[in-house]
Amino acid sequence: MNVMNTQQAISELIALGKWIGAKGWVPATGGNFSIRADDCFVVTASGFDKGALNNKCFLNVNSAGDILNGNGKPSAETALHLALYELSLDTHCVLHTHSVAATVLSRYIKGDVFSVSGYEMQKSLTGYTSHQDTLSIAIFDNDQDMNRLAQTVRDYFSNQSHKLQHGILIRGHGLYAFGQNPAQTKQHLEGLEFLFACELERIKLEAAL
């Protein structure tokens, strides 16, 4: 995709934040967003309501996380965004959410992968053409040391058999969705959140029977 300038990136993220906030996926000050722009990354500043962002809620950082421009502190989870950009030059947008479904499901699943099949909505994820395919999303244990968590993610995807696509889950914390542009990232986010919500409902129903 054409790399955006900072103002375009900010406008995209403000609009996405409104949409994500209306879905209830960034409660309180949870969540953070970023876009690869020009020679830097535009990230949300820490501590704001991500559903009600304005032009002053963003910073430019370089690939090492150094601040190039902007006010306040970059997201506490900037290191994780930068790891995802470093892992794939095709990644141009990262949207991190704290939905109930992603938070609960990532705790309920004890293993390190969320795997699902049987849903038509799997086709909302790039590369999927059938409900019969199995979609897998890696789950990482939460860690307050973001540099260490970012390194764990880098190490995991340095194994070529682990495909970096659509998103990752952080246990008891939320989802990081990513894609080649903001529209595709939004689609991955919505598709994954739908699948998480379906699985949560299915697990609850089965437990009640």
Ligand X SMILES: CSC[C@@H](O)[C@@H](O)C(=O)COP(=O)(O)O
Question: Which residues lie near ligand X (CB under 6 A)?
Answer: 28-32, 44, 46-47, 75-77, 96
Q: Tell me how far, at minimum, the Cβ of 170 lies from ligand X, in Å.
A: 8
Closer CB to ligand X, residue 28 or residue 207? 28
The phi, psi pair for 154, rounded to 5°, reads -60, -45
Closer CB to ligand X, residue 97 or residue 122? 97
Closer CB to ligand X, residue 48 or residue 114? 48
**Residue 115: exposed, middle, or buried by beta-carbon count in 10 A (0-12, 13-18, 19+)?**
exposed
> Shortest CA distance to 82 belongs to which of 168, 1, 150?
150
Closer CB to ligand X, residue 8 or residue 46? 46
> Shortest CA distance to 16 belongs to which of 186, 192, 202?
186
d(CA 104, CA 88): 28
Q: Tell me how far, at minimum, the Cβ of 117 lies from ligand X, in Å.
A: 29
Q: Tell me how far, at minimum, the Cβ of 146 lies from ligand X, in Å.
A: 9
Q: Tell me how far, at minimum, the Cβ of 29 lies from ligand X, in Å.
A: 5
Instruction: Report the residue count for the chain.
Output: 209
